[in-house]
Structure 1
Amino acid sequence: MYAALWRSLPGPVWLRLLILIVLVAAVLTALALWVFPWIDSLIAPLEVTVEE
């Protein structure tokens, strides 16, 4: 899968690497900003208190 992704990217190696870095950053940003908060709203957290 990774080899197919690498071969499908245009340009020399340095450009492919730059594109991959930007793509990974975009995916991680989308996950952190939209996907994880949406999933968190679906999962009811346990009401846990820590007492001594």
Structure 2
Amino acid sequence: MYAYFWRSLPGPRPVKILLVLILVTAVFLILMEVVFPWVAAQLPHTDVTV
């Protein structure tokens, strides 16, 4: 599967490495800014009573 993604990226090896770094960074930022906060709001641990 990773080989398919690597082959589908355009350009020589340095360009592919740069594209992979950009894509990984974008996925990380989307997870941290959108997905994880939404999931945290859905979890029941926010209703804590002591």
The TM-score, its normalising length taken from structure 1, stands at 0.86
Tell me: CA distance 1:48–1:2, structure 2 relative to 1, closer, same or farther (3 Å). Answer: farther
| 1:4-50 alpha-carbon deviations (Å, 9 max, x no partner) | 0000000000000000000000000000000000000000116387x
Residue 21 of structure 1 corresponds to which residue in structure 2?
A: 21
* Unmatched segments (≥5 aa) in structure 2: none
> Following the alignment from structure 2 to structure 1, what is the Cα–Cα distance between the partners of residues 35 and 5?
23
CA RMSD of aligned residues (A): 1.6
Give the structure with the higher percent helix.
2
User: What is the aligned-residue identity percentage?
Assistant: 41
Output the TM-score relative to the length of structure 2. Answer: 0.90
Runs of 4+ in 1 over 4 A off after TM superposition: none
Structure 1: runs of 5+ lacking an equivalent: none
Structure whose alpha-carbon radius of gyration is higher: 1
Aligned residues: 49
